[in-house]
Amino acid sequence: MGEQNSLLRKTQKPSYVQMAYDGIRNLIIEEEISPGELLSENQLAAYLNMSRTPVREAIRRLQAEGFLESRKGLGTFLKPLTSKDVRNIYEVREALELIACETSIFQITDEEIEEVRSSLQSLLDRHAAGEGIDRMEFSKLDGQFHDLIVQKSNNGYIKILMDQIYFNVDRYRVISFSVSLDLEESTKQHLDLLDCLKERDLQKLKMALSAHLEWSLELLLKHLEL
């Protein structure tokens, strides 16, 4: 019985750590935790309704991934944004997404393309009608095309690497949204990318995607004043 309880604790621990990890990531994306802010294990544990142990492990994981930094004698903080970080992220992101295109363009179905198109067009129509768009909804829909490209790639390593990159991209996108909404232009560019994808023209798609990511980077740097 004791061995079973020990095994149960071992199998449960990763799930609680993952819950804490996801919870803290969501707080960062939603700007509930600000750059340079001290992270309190007690407060996070209380907010997430769990013990400090999985929260501590989640913080260590986020620190190892480069999102948090430890300052001796002070504690752990959310790393502030820098222009170098943003540029480095987009440099790697562009390279990986262009590689992903090479196989995903032939794996993505017309139905999947039209599903994303419908979501984006609906967003554009609602915005044109004067409806206020929630920034988290915009961030999710804005990333649909890129998620499709990555998830349909035959290269599993791209999916693993992009998970970390997209976390920072989502974080920056939400911050950018709060400064200035460029929903219309961004959505139109994604609709154009879907047209390239449907034509199955790899070179055209890669050129358009590269131009879109460069536009996104410059816009982001401008909004963040980096």
pLDDT confidence of residue 184: 86
pLDDT confidence of residue 179: 47
pLDDT confidence of residue 180: 46
Residues in the chain predicted with pLDDT less than 50, given as ranges, are 1, 11-12, 179-180
pLDDT confidence of residue 67: 86
User: Coil, strand or helix: which one is 69?
Assistant: strand
Note whether 50 and 106 are same-domain residues: no
pLDDT tens string 106-149: 999 999 999 999 999 998 899 889 888 877 788 788 888 999 99
Which residues face 38 on adjacent strands? 77
Evaluate whether 181 touches 172 at the Cβ level (below 8 Å). no
pLDDT confidence of residue 5: 54
Note whether 118 and 209 are same-domain residues: yes
pLDDT confidence of residue 202: 96
Closest CA to 78 of 41, 42, 44, 36: 36
Note whether 20 and 119 are same-domain residues: no
Q: How many domains does the chain have?
A: 2
Evaluate whether 149 touches 106 at the Cβ level (below 8 Å). no
pLDDT confidence of residue 6: 53
Note whether 169 and 106 are same-domain residues: yes
Note whether 71 and 110 are same-domain residues: no
Note whether 66 and 113 are same-domain residues: no
pLDDT confidence of residue 178: 55
Neighbouring residues of 222: CB distance < 8 A, sequence distance ≥ 6:
none
Note whether 42 and 117 are same-domain residues: no
For residue 79, with 0-12 CB atoms within 10 Å meaning exposed, 13-18 middle and 19 or more buried, which class applies? middle
What would the two tokens of residue 104 be? 């995903």
Which residues face 71 on adjacent strands? 75
Note whether 101 and 169 are same-domain residues: yes
Domain containing residue 39: CATH number: 1.10.10.10
Note whether 93 and 73 are same-domain residues: no
DSSP state, residue 143: T
